[in-house]
Amino acid sequence: MTPSTPEATPILDVRGLTKTFGGRRAPQRAVDDVSFSVGPGAILGIVGESGSGKSTTLRCVVGLERADAGEVLFDGQPLAGADRETRRRFRRDVQMVFQDPYSSLNPRMTVEAIVGEGLDIHRAAATKQARRDRVVEVLGLVGLEATVLDRFPRSFSGGQRQRIAIARALAVGPRVLVCDEPVSALDVSVQAQVVNLLLDMQQRLGLAVVFVAHDLALVRHLCHDVMVMQHGVVVENGPCAGVFDDPQHDYTRSLLAAIPIPEPDRDRARRAEAASARRSA
Protein backbone atom coordinates (compact mmCIF):
# COMPACT_ATOMS: atom_id res chain seq x y z
CA MET A 1 0.00 0.00 0.00
CA THR A 2 1.37 3.41 -0.95
CA PRO A 3 1.78 5.68 2.07
CA SER A 4 0.06 9.06 2.13
CA THR A 5 2.08 11.99 0.79
CA PRO A 6 3.57 14.25 3.44
CA GLU A 7 2.77 17.91 2.71
CA ALA A 8 5.57 20.31 3.57
CA THR A 9 7.98 22.83 2.13
CA PRO A 10 10.39 20.99 -0.20
CA ILE A 11 13.65 19.91 1.32
CA LEU A 12 15.10 19.34 -2.17
CA ASP A 13 14.02 21.58 -5.04
CA VAL A 14 15.44 21.11 -8.55
CA ARG A 15 14.70 23.73 -11.20
CA GLY A 16 15.43 23.63 -14.93
CA LEU A 17 18.24 21.09 -14.74
CA THR A 18 19.96 20.57 -18.09
CA LYS A 19 22.93 18.40 -19.06
CA THR A 20 24.45 17.85 -22.50
CA PHE A 21 27.14 15.32 -23.41
CA GLY A 22 29.36 15.25 -26.47
CA GLY A 23 31.21 17.92 -28.40
CA ARG A 24 30.01 20.65 -30.71
CA ARG A 25 29.49 18.30 -33.64
CA ALA A 26 27.21 15.76 -31.98
CA PRO A 27 25.84 17.08 -28.69
CA GLN A 28 23.31 14.92 -26.89
CA ARG A 29 20.89 16.46 -24.42
CA ALA A 30 20.70 13.84 -21.66
CA VAL A 31 18.65 16.00 -19.27
CA ASP A 32 16.44 18.75 -20.67
CA ASP A 33 14.92 21.38 -18.34
CA VAL A 34 14.02 18.92 -15.56
CA SER A 35 12.31 20.27 -12.44
CA PHE A 36 10.99 18.48 -9.36
CA SER A 37 10.77 18.83 -5.61
CA VAL A 38 10.68 16.47 -2.64
CA GLY A 39 9.26 17.28 0.76
CA PRO A 40 10.55 15.95 4.09
CA GLY A 41 9.53 12.32 4.53
CA ALA A 42 8.24 11.99 0.95
CA ILE A 43 9.29 9.43 -1.66
CA LEU A 44 9.57 10.48 -5.31
CA GLY A 45 9.91 7.79 -7.95
CA ILE A 46 11.59 8.57 -11.28
CA VAL A 47 10.78 6.13 -14.08
CA GLY A 48 11.55 5.73 -17.76
CA GLU A 49 13.34 3.37 -20.10
CA SER A 50 17.14 3.10 -20.31
CA GLY A 51 18.65 6.30 -21.66
CA SER A 52 15.79 8.50 -20.49
CA GLY A 53 18.09 10.59 -18.28
CA LYS A 54 17.08 9.29 -14.86
CA SER A 55 20.54 8.45 -13.52
CA THR A 56 22.15 11.54 -15.07
CA THR A 57 19.55 13.67 -13.31
CA LEU A 58 20.49 12.16 -9.96
CA ARG A 59 24.20 12.53 -10.61
CA CYS A 60 23.73 16.22 -11.43
CA VAL A 61 21.67 16.75 -8.29
CA VAL A 62 24.29 15.27 -5.96
CA GLY A 63 27.19 16.88 -7.81
CA LEU A 64 28.77 13.85 -9.48
CA GLU A 65 28.08 15.54 -12.83
CA ARG A 66 28.17 19.27 -13.48
CA ALA A 67 24.89 20.51 -14.94
CA ASP A 68 24.97 22.95 -17.87
CA ALA A 69 22.01 24.92 -16.53
CA GLY A 70 19.46 24.93 -13.76
CA GLU A 71 19.74 25.08 -10.00
CA VAL A 72 19.41 22.86 -6.95
CA LEU A 73 17.99 24.28 -3.74
CA PHE A 74 18.32 22.55 -0.39
CA ASP A 75 16.12 23.79 2.45
CA GLY A 76 15.28 26.73 0.22
CA GLN A 77 18.93 27.73 -0.28
CA PRO A 78 20.53 27.56 -3.76
CA LEU A 79 23.74 25.54 -3.83
CA ALA A 80 25.27 27.61 -6.62
CA GLY A 81 27.45 30.20 -4.97
CA ALA A 82 26.84 28.76 -1.49
CA ASP A 83 29.60 28.94 1.08
CA ARG A 84 31.76 25.97 1.98
CA GLU A 85 29.80 25.07 5.11
CA THR A 86 26.47 24.99 3.25
CA ARG A 87 27.88 22.72 0.56
CA ARG A 88 29.49 20.50 3.18
CA ARG A 89 26.17 20.20 5.00
CA PHE A 90 24.45 19.31 1.70
CA ARG A 91 26.99 16.53 1.01
CA ARG A 92 26.31 15.12 4.47
CA ASP A 93 22.52 15.49 4.36
CA VAL A 94 22.07 14.06 0.84
CA GLN A 95 23.48 10.55 0.46
CA MET A 96 23.36 8.23 -2.54
CA VAL A 97 22.87 4.48 -2.92
CA PHE A 98 24.20 3.25 -6.26
CA GLN A 99 22.85 0.60 -8.58
CA ASP A 100 25.64 -1.96 -8.48
CA PRO A 101 26.78 -3.07 -5.02
CA TYR A 102 29.67 -5.00 -6.60
CA SER A 103 31.36 -1.86 -7.95
CA SER A 104 30.24 0.76 -5.42
CA LEU A 105 32.15 -0.78 -2.50
CA ASN A 106 35.96 -0.61 -2.35
CA PRO A 107 37.15 -4.26 -2.33
CA ARG A 108 40.30 -3.30 -0.38
CA MET A 109 38.38 -1.83 2.57
CA THR A 110 36.74 -3.64 5.46
CA VAL A 111 33.07 -3.13 6.27
CA GLU A 112 34.01 -0.94 9.23
CA ALA A 113 36.18 1.27 7.03
CA ILE A 114 33.52 1.51 4.30
CA VAL A 115 30.67 2.44 6.62
CA GLY A 116 32.83 4.67 8.80
CA GLU A 117 34.47 6.64 5.98
CA GLY A 118 31.73 9.27 5.89
CA LEU A 119 31.99 9.74 9.64
CA ASP A 120 35.68 10.54 9.19
CA ILE A 121 35.09 12.94 6.31
CA HIS A 122 32.38 14.87 8.14
CA ARG A 123 34.06 14.55 11.55
CA ALA A 124 30.88 13.04 12.94
CA ALA A 125 32.52 10.85 15.59
CA ALA A 126 34.61 12.31 18.40
CA THR A 127 36.56 9.14 19.18
CA LYS A 128 37.44 5.82 17.55
CA GLN A 129 35.06 4.06 19.92
CA ALA A 130 32.22 6.44 19.05
CA ARG A 131 32.94 5.80 15.37
CA ARG A 132 32.81 2.03 15.84
CA ASP A 133 29.64 2.27 17.93
CA ARG A 134 27.94 4.26 15.18
CA VAL A 135 29.05 1.79 12.50
CA VAL A 136 27.69 -1.10 14.58
CA GLU A 137 24.44 0.82 15.10
CA VAL A 138 23.74 1.43 11.41
CA LEU A 139 24.76 -2.11 10.48
CA GLY A 140 22.16 -3.29 12.97
CA LEU A 141 19.57 -1.06 11.31
CA VAL A 142 20.13 -2.84 7.98
CA GLY A 143 20.14 -6.32 9.52
CA LEU A 144 23.87 -7.06 9.78
CA GLU A 145 25.76 -8.15 12.90
CA ALA A 146 28.85 -6.53 14.38
CA THR A 147 30.78 -9.69 13.48
CA VAL A 148 31.06 -8.43 9.87
CA LEU A 149 33.17 -5.38 10.77
CA ASP A 150 36.53 -6.87 9.76
CA ARG A 151 35.33 -8.65 6.63
CA PHE A 152 35.77 -7.48 3.03
CA PRO A 153 33.05 -7.03 0.37
CA ARG A 154 34.06 -10.23 -1.44
CA SER A 155 32.70 -12.19 1.53
CA PHE A 156 29.12 -11.07 0.94
CA SER A 157 26.26 -11.71 -1.45
CA GLY A 158 24.83 -8.94 -3.63
CA GLY A 159 21.97 -8.31 -1.23
CA GLN A 160 24.31 -8.09 1.74
CA ARG A 161 26.62 -5.72 -0.14
CA GLN A 162 23.71 -3.43 -0.87
CA ARG A 163 22.81 -3.47 2.83
CA ILE A 164 26.37 -2.36 3.55
CA ALA A 165 26.00 0.42 0.95
CA ILE A 166 22.77 1.55 2.60
CA ALA A 167 24.46 1.50 6.01
CA ARG A 168 27.27 3.65 4.58
CA ALA A 169 24.69 6.17 3.36
CA LEU A 170 22.85 6.21 6.70
CA ALA A 171 25.95 6.51 8.88
CA VAL A 172 26.20 10.31 8.74
CA GLY A 173 22.50 10.83 9.50
CA PRO A 174 21.26 12.13 6.13
CA ARG A 175 17.91 13.78 5.53
CA VAL A 176 17.63 12.75 1.87
CA LEU A 177 18.46 9.37 0.33
CA VAL A 178 19.02 9.27 -3.44
CA CYS A 179 18.69 5.73 -4.81
CA ASP A 180 19.74 4.91 -8.38
CA GLU A 181 17.99 1.61 -9.18
CA PRO A 182 19.25 0.06 -5.93
CA VAL A 183 17.71 -3.37 -6.53
CA SER A 184 18.02 -3.87 -10.30
CA ALA A 185 21.41 -5.65 -10.01
CA LEU A 186 20.14 -8.04 -7.33
CA ASP A 187 18.55 -11.47 -7.58
CA VAL A 188 14.77 -11.35 -7.65
CA SER A 189 14.70 -13.36 -4.43
CA VAL A 190 16.39 -10.54 -2.47
CA GLN A 191 14.97 -7.48 -4.24
CA ALA A 192 11.86 -7.40 -2.05
CA GLN A 193 14.01 -7.65 1.10
CA VAL A 194 16.08 -4.63 0.13
CA VAL A 195 13.01 -2.62 -0.92
CA ASN A 196 11.29 -3.37 2.38
CA LEU A 197 14.48 -2.40 4.20
CA LEU A 198 14.59 0.97 2.40
CA LEU A 199 10.93 1.61 3.18
CA ASP A 200 11.46 0.70 6.82
CA MET A 201 14.47 3.02 7.08
CA GLN A 202 12.56 5.83 5.38
CA GLN A 203 9.66 5.55 7.80
CA ARG A 204 11.79 5.01 10.89
CA LEU A 205 14.20 7.88 10.19
CA GLY A 206 11.79 10.24 8.39
CA LEU A 207 13.96 10.41 5.28
CA ALA A 208 13.03 12.03 2.00
CA VAL A 209 13.84 9.61 -0.83
CA VAL A 210 14.38 10.00 -4.58
CA PHE A 211 14.06 6.51 -6.08
CA VAL A 212 14.96 5.70 -9.68
CA ALA A 213 13.59 2.41 -11.04
CA HIS A 214 12.52 0.57 -14.16
CA ASP A 215 9.89 -1.41 -12.26
CA LEU A 216 6.70 0.66 -12.26
CA ALA A 217 4.88 -1.79 -10.01
CA LEU A 218 7.63 -1.28 -7.43
CA VAL A 219 7.36 2.51 -7.73
CA ARG A 220 3.62 2.34 -7.20
CA HIS A 221 4.10 0.27 -4.05
CA LEU A 222 6.89 2.42 -2.63
CA CYS A 223 6.43 6.04 -3.71
CA HIS A 224 4.14 8.95 -2.97
CA ASP A 225 4.79 10.76 -6.26
CA VAL A 226 6.17 9.74 -9.63
CA MET A 227 7.98 11.56 -12.45
CA VAL A 228 8.09 9.98 -15.91
CA MET A 229 11.08 10.80 -18.15
CA GLN A 230 11.58 10.20 -21.86
CA HIS A 231 14.67 11.32 -23.82
CA GLY A 232 15.74 13.58 -20.96
CA VAL A 233 12.38 15.34 -20.67
CA VAL A 234 9.73 15.06 -17.95
CA VAL A 235 6.56 14.02 -19.78
CA GLU A 236 4.32 13.48 -16.76
CA ASN A 237 4.45 13.82 -12.99
CA GLY A 238 2.15 13.84 -9.99
CA PRO A 239 0.83 11.64 -7.19
CA CYS A 240 1.27 7.93 -7.94
CA ALA A 241 -2.45 7.19 -7.71
CA GLY A 242 -3.31 9.81 -10.32
CA VAL A 243 -0.53 8.99 -12.77
CA PHE A 244 -0.98 5.23 -12.55
CA ASP A 245 -4.79 5.19 -12.65
CA ASP A 246 -5.29 7.97 -15.20
CA PRO A 247 -2.08 8.58 -17.24
CA GLN A 248 -2.22 11.59 -19.55
CA HIS A 249 0.79 10.96 -21.79
CA ASP A 250 1.07 8.21 -24.41
CA TYR A 251 4.55 7.26 -23.20
CA THR A 252 3.27 6.76 -19.65
CA ARG A 253 0.46 4.60 -20.99
CA SER A 254 2.94 2.45 -22.92
CA LEU A 255 5.08 1.95 -19.79
CA LEU A 256 2.04 0.99 -17.74
CA ALA A 257 0.81 -1.36 -20.46
CA ALA A 258 4.06 -3.34 -20.12
CA ILE A 259 3.46 -4.13 -16.42
CA PRO A 260 2.38 -7.78 -15.95
CA ILE A 261 -1.06 -7.77 -14.30
CA PRO A 262 -2.44 -10.96 -12.64
CA GLU A 263 -6.09 -9.86 -13.08
CA PRO A 264 -6.19 -7.39 -16.00
CA ASP A 265 -9.98 -7.06 -16.22
CA ARG A 266 -10.31 -6.17 -12.54
CA ASP A 267 -7.38 -3.74 -12.78
CA ARG A 268 -8.87 -1.95 -15.82
CA ALA A 269 -12.21 -1.61 -14.06
CA ARG A 270 -10.52 -0.21 -10.93
CA ARG A 271 -8.50 2.33 -12.93
CA ALA A 272 -11.57 3.42 -14.94
CA GLU A 273 -13.55 3.92 -11.74
CA ALA A 274 -10.72 5.91 -10.12
CA ALA A 275 -10.30 8.12 -13.22
CA SER A 276 -14.04 8.78 -13.42
CA ALA A 277 -14.15 9.75 -9.74
CA ARG A 278 -11.29 12.24 -10.19
CA ARG A 279 -12.90 13.86 -13.26
CA SER A 280 -16.21 14.35 -11.48
CA ALA A 281 -14.57 15.72 -8.30
State percent of the chain over pLDDT 90.
67
**pLDDT value at position 279?**
67
On average, the pLDDT of the chain sits at 89
The predicted-structure confidence for 207-256, as pLDDT tens digits, reads as follows 999 999 888 888 988 999 999 999 999 999 999 999 999 999 999 999 98
Average confidence (pLDDT) over 6-27: 84
Of residues 279 and 3, the one with the higher pLDDT is 279
Q: What pLDDT does residue 27 have?
A: 85
Span 268-273, average pLDDT: 67
Contact 171, 138 (CB under 8 A): yes
Place 24 in a pLDDT band, splitting at 50, 70 and 90: confident
2, pLDDT greater than 50: no
For 14, 67, 269, the CA distances from 198, given in Å and listed in that order, are 23, 28, 32
38 neighbors 12 (Cβ within 8 angstroms): yes
Q: What percent of the residues of the chain are helix, what percent strand, and what percent coil, each to the nearest 5?
A: 40, 20, 35
Q: What DSSP character marks residue 81?
A: T
Is 7's pLDDT higher than 80? no
Which of 4-8, 37-41, 66-70 has the least mean pLDDT?
Answer: 4-8
pLDDT for 1 equals: 40
- The DSSP bridge partners found for residue 94 are 176
36, 10 Cβ separation under 8 angstroms: no
| pLDDT over 60 (residue 6) | no
- Look up residue 146 and give its DSSP letter: G
At 253-266, the pLDDT tens digits run: 999 888 776 666 66
Q: Reply yes or no on whether the pLDDT at 3 is more than 60.
A: no
pLDDT score for 130: 96
Extended strands (E) in 68-111? 69-74, 77-78, 94-97
Q: Residues 133-174: pLDDT tens digits? A: 999 999 999 999 999 999 999 999 999 999 999 999 999 999
Instruction: For Cα atoms 210, 216, 218, give the angle at the middle one, nearest 5 degrees.
Output: 70
Q: How far apart are CA 122 and CA 145, in angstroms?
A: 24
Sorted by where each starts, the structural domains of the chain and their CATH numbers stand as 12-101+175-276 (3.40.50.300)
Residue type, 133: D
- Least confident segment among 25-29, 71-75, 175-179: 25-29
DSSP class per residue in 194-209: HHHHHHHHHHHHT-EE
* DSSP 8-state symbol, 74: E
